[in-house]
Structure 1
Amino acid sequence: MFLLLLLRALPLPLFDEAADGQLVRWDVLHFLAIARDGHLYEHHWAFLPALPALLRNAGVLPVASLVTILSIDAFRVLYELSEVTLGSKDLAWITTLLALLPSSPVTLFVAPYNEPFFTYLSYRGMLYSARSQYLKASIAFALASCFRSNGVFLAGFIIWGLLIQSKPRFSSAVYATVLSALVFAPFVYHNYSGYVSFCVENPQRPEWCNKIIPSIYTHVQSEYWDNGLFKYWTLQQLPNILIALPPLFLFYVFGFWHLKAVYARSESPFASITLTPHVLHALFTSSLLLFASNTQITLRLAASMPTLYWAAAWLWTHPSKDGKGFQYRSWGKVWVYWSAIWGFISIVLWAAFLPPA
């Protein structure tokens, strides 16, 4: 945190001199434009309205201060979630310590970005789900969906708890459907608003208006951000894909180990069935990021999935086959070194307005 505050004050030369202030970089420029003029242009619809609304009503510095406050409280929520999920205070403590080294510290701790709000609300909803407080969970997940579209996938935790973890009943299915609809509502309304703006009473209707499911969000992500199956896999984007591989690799290695360990009825706390919905969510999101999205977004989004830090804690505490624990612990150290080094580099790149963001 000290490094973040220090680098905010450094007069680093900017790649883009149009930036106004140390906190205004990359997507923040879009958020401020939407806060000022609304979703005026088609490409603005890639961003959901919650953060621009906060910036419009409060301003950059107050929102950045709120980001820092929520990020601090997120550690407490993560600790509680880890204790409930792993059944160990020691592992919860290790997990929380590892979370101090995210792969995108600026956008998680300081900058007025979507990710701090999304991460905090995701943790909250996951904790409520773990405690079977599904109405509270759906509200937290719905609020998360106001910041990022992938918040709709968080409904899976409610479905898991009501229909898979416990014996499914008709009343549970109805309840899960209603709560999931609440989680989907912000994203659906965002697309509906875009449809009304561009497709209703418009003699020059865009082509996407005529699709079976006329989603402006899907259109904009494909048209302006090259989202789509393998669309991002170009030689030009290879560096962005490579820098995102460490967290993706950790997600996959731990995810498949966990599923195998659950099947084998391992007694490891990391093989608990309570982790399974988190692992499935992380594997699905990782695959989406790797194969159909701007892959470097993984660096910002990974922190919203506690599976990342549980996987790192697994490396630190899981014994290797010879019982000495050296092999896993060594990879755990590699993860910590990479997180610290890349985290520092990302701060400098952000301060100089250089990619990735």
Structure 2
Amino acid sequence: MASPDRSSSSPLLADVRTLACLFVLWKLLLLCIAYASPGPGYDTSTTLLFARAQSALSENTLLEDFAKRLASKLVRWDALYFVSVAHRGRLFEQEWAWGWGYTNLLGLISKVLPRASSLSPLYVQAFAGVLISHVSHLLSVFMLYGLVHHLPIMNIPERRKVAFIAASLHIFSSAGLFLSAPYAESLFSMLNFLGILLHVGISYGMPLEKYGPSALIRLLLSGVCFGLATTCRSNGVFSGLIYFHHLYMLFHSKINVRTIVTVAVIGLSAIMILAGMLLPQYLAYQDFCVFSPADELRPWCSRSLPSVYSWVQEHYWNVGFLRYWTVSNIPLFLLAAPMLCALIGTGLAAPDLKIDVPGKRSKQASVYLLCLAAPQILLALLALTTFHVQIVNRIATGYPIWYIVIAAGISFVRHVQDHLGRPSSQQLIFRGMFMYSIIQGGLYASFMPPA
């Protein structure tokens, strides 16, 4: 038996080690910025929350003081709700807007973490969130690197360069400190990337009638991952658009028993994604609409589609079509404009990434890449028209195509602009991401927008 080719695996391992080093250095820089931010910040909610929960009177060690200060700098904005809900459960209807899957995982992880007697359980919840964010972010970096190697783009040497640059861009993502704090963004990215990674290896170029058991299992597991991602962030439901590629493939496949089974598995995968959205809604409906007295029923219970999530978004945060289009929000639209342009522009450019894909597979590769890009395009359009536009800078981190297209542009520019002194647009995007994350880290830790 031939020995494995170490010449091909060694560069990949070197890339993984380099990415891990970049990740550690970047995270240390962001945590230092957060720790050094002055005072309790613009808002004292975090200070009050931890002060109420801290009952121990024993004197803290230097390490415990350090840990408490760092935790207090990371529990800002929505992280306050994530940590509180994971600690005591959901008491109010607006708390059903915070990722049901993420807060439940946060509660489970906090139960197995060691805890110093002088630290309240809320601090443990915060540390659990920080742990989940860092581990999930690192894993999603590796998954994005592997994902590029499975895409129908470019030749193998060029693909490795693009994979490394794309994974590096994900490390320096515009989400910045949100990928270190107790937020759902890192976990969502990991689950979404894993779902795509499971999906991409079996989908393009293979007729549906040739899907074997292993392909069907991977297809089903991708639906599980997308469904779990949806329990963390509701925009995970957009990942179901990836399965539209199979509708295209259906027109190029023979109808037989295996084709029918494949279509059934695709349908089951889509149901799992919907379940990630509907299960929390069902639990909230049981709590507020079934087991509550008739005179205490909430208004959304009588709607034709009684969704607590849409009610909370509309009633408490005024989310809706063009509701955010006010003069006072113009700075937030300007802040989000680069990311909106990047998501839409790279999404539309994604089908052109195919290089060295022969014959009929070229068209199939284009369709598949467009289906992969469709979720980020829809996200950008909804951010522009419907919800709080500034959050697109952090929730875009869970979509791989924009990293890959920008990485391909940077890799191409290295070949054709080596002798030019000016940076490319892709390089400017990277510099903007880096600077934005640094500035945003200090603002976040000081409890100041943008959030």
Matched, 1:117 2:193: no
| Residues 281-334 of structure 1: per-residue CA shift (max 9 Å, x gap) | 211111111111111111111110111212322432456xxx769799521221
Select which of 316, 329, 334 maps to 2:410. 316
Aligned to 2:265: 175
Q: Partners in 1 of 2:181 and 2:106 — Cα distance?
A: 12
The one-letter code sitting in structure 2 at the alignment partner of 1:26 is W
Aligned to 1:306: 400
Distance 1:344 1:268, change over 3 A: farther
Q: Partners in 2 of 1:54 and 1:67 — Cα distance?
A: 12
Matched, 1:103 2:174: yes
Q: CA deviation at 1:32?
A: 2.3
Select which of 140, 148, 155 maps to 2:240. 155
**Contact 1:282/1:305, CA 8 A, preserved across alignment:** yes
Q: CA deviation at 1:16?
A: 0.8
Q: CA deviation at 1:165?
A: 3.7
The one-letter code sitting in structure 2 at the alignment partner of 1:97 is S
Aligned to 2:38: 12
Q: Partners in 2 of 1:219 and 1:308 — Cα distance?
A: 31
| Residues 63-115 of structure 1: per-residue CA shift (max 9 Å, x gap) | 3123212211211110111121134212112212222221121111x111010
Aligned to 1:257: 349
Decide which structure has the larger Cα Rg and report it.
2
Q: Partners in 1 of 2:135 and 2:34 — Cα distance?
A: 17
**Contact 2:220/2:266, CA 8 A, preserved across alignment:** no
Q: Partners in 2 of 1:309 and 1:178 — Cα distance?
A: 29
Instruction: List aligned pairs for 1:141-220, cutoff 5 A.
Output: 141-157=226-242, 159-165=243-249, 167=252, 169-200=259-290, 201-204=292-295, 205-220=297-312
Q: CA deviation at 1:221?
A: 0.8
TM-score, normalised to structure 1, is 0.90
Aligned to 1:56: 107
Distance 1:33 1:97, change over 3 A: closer
Q: Partners in 1 of 2:387 and 2:398 — Cα distance?
A: 17
Aligned to 2:80: 29
- Aligned-pair identity in percent equals 26
Q: CA-atom RMSD, angstroms?
A: 2.5
The one-letter code sitting in structure 2 at the alignment partner of 1:49 is W
Stretches of structure 1 lacking an aligned partner (at least 5 in a row): none
**Contact 1:278/1:307, CA 8 A, preserved across alignment:** yes
Distance 1:214 1:328, change over 3 A: farther
Once structures 1 and 2 are overlaid, which stretch shifts more, 194-203 or 335-344?
194-203
| Residues 118-167 of structure 1: per-residue CA shift (max 9 Å, x gap) | 0010000000000232122112112111211111221222x235433454
Distance 1:327 1:231, change over 3 A: farther
How many residues are matched?
A: 349
Once structures 1 and 2 are overlaid, which stretch shifts more, 33-42 or 325-334?
325-334
Q: CA deviation at 1:268?
A: 7.8
Q: Partners in 1 of 2:246 and 2:422 — Cα distance?
A: 35
Once structures 1 and 2 are overlaid, which stretch shifts more, 124-133 or 230-239?
230-239
Q: Partners in 2 of 1:62 and 1:173 — Cα distance?
A: 40
Q: CA deviation at 1:267?
A: 4.2
Distance 1:239 1:18, change over 3 A: same
Stretches of structure 2 lacking an aligned partner (at least 5 in a row): 1-26, 48-71, 111-124, 203-217, 254-258
**Contact 2:227/2:277, CA 8 A, preserved across alignment:** no
The one-letter code sitting in structure 1 at the alignment partner of 2:428 is V
The one-letter code sitting in structure 2 at the alignment partner of 1:164 is Y
Select which of 328, 338, 342 maps to 1:246. 338
Aligned-partner SS, 2:444? helix
Q: Partners in 1 of 2:356 and 2:201 — Cα distance?
A: 21
Q: CA deviation at 1:244?
A: 1.1
Once structures 1 and 2 are overlaid, which stretch shifts more, 112-121 or 308-317?
308-317
**Contact 2:238/2:378, CA 8 A, preserved across alignment:** no
Once structures 1 and 2 are overlaid, which stretch shifts more, 54-63 or 172-181?
54-63
TM-score, normalised to structure 2, is 0.72
Distance 1:29 1:75, change over 3 A: same
Q: CA deviation at 1:48?
A: 2.5
Q: Partners in 2 of 1:94 and 1:9 — Cα distance?
A: 29
Instruction: List aligned pairs for 1:262-277, cutoff 5 A.
Output: 267=355, 272-273=365-366, 274-277=368-371
Q: CA deviation at 1:9?
A: 2.2
**Contact 1:247/1:308, CA 8 A, preserved across alignment:** no
